């Protein structure tokens, strides 16, 4: 398997989205400098008026692209990610993860 895409949904405590984003953005340059990181960016819902959309104002979606599954696995254990998780642990309620390959 080569390139993988990752979608991470992080539900934060009410009123904590901006604090989460501040911590997250501070770590982005570290992640982008990692071997195999092709894209790494946060996104938040925008009201579109589309019937199928489910708005989740307390969720930050992280969109990632990695050159390989091995690069992604290394990312999860790198020191700056361990520090980041420690920084956000008290404001994060839930995390879901999808690791995908384009077909």
Count of C-beta atoms within a 10 Å radius of residue 102: 8
Q: Is the pTM of this model over 0.85?
A: yes
As beta bridge partners, residue 98 has 7
DSSP annotation of 82 reads H
Give the pLDDT mean for 2-10: 97
Quick one: fold of 4-47+54-100? Alpha-Beta Plaits (3.30.70)
| pLDDT of 1 over the 90 cut | no
Residues 32-74: pLDDT tens digits?
999 999 999 999 999 999 999 999 999 999 999 999 999 999 9
Report the candidate in 11, 21, 28, 30 with the shortest Cα–Cα distance to residue 93: 11
CA-to-CA separations, 30 to 17, 23, 25, 56, 75, in angstroms, rounded? 21, 12, 10, 28, 10
Give the pLDDT mean for 91-100: 98
Largest CA distance in the chain: 42
Q: Which pairs from 86-90 meet CB under 8 Å and 24+ separation?
A: 87/23, 88/10, 88/12, 88/20, 88/23, 88/24
- What percentage of residues in the chain have a pLDDT greater than 70? 99
How is the chain split into domains, by residue range?
4-47+54-100
């Amino acid at each position: 398997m080569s390139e993988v895409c990752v979608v991470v949904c992080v539900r934060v405590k009410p009123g904590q989205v901006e604090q989460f984003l501040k911590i997250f953005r501070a770590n982005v340059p570290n992640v982008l400098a990692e071997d195999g990181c092709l894209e790494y960016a946060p996104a938040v819902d925008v009201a579109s008026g589309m019937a199928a959309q489910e708005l989740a104002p307390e969720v930050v979606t992280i969109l990632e692209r990695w050159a390989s599954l091995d690069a992604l696995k290394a990312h999860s254990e790198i020191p700056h990610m361990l520090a980041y998780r420690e920084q956000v642990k008290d404001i994060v309620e839930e995390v879901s993860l999808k690791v995908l390959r384009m077909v």
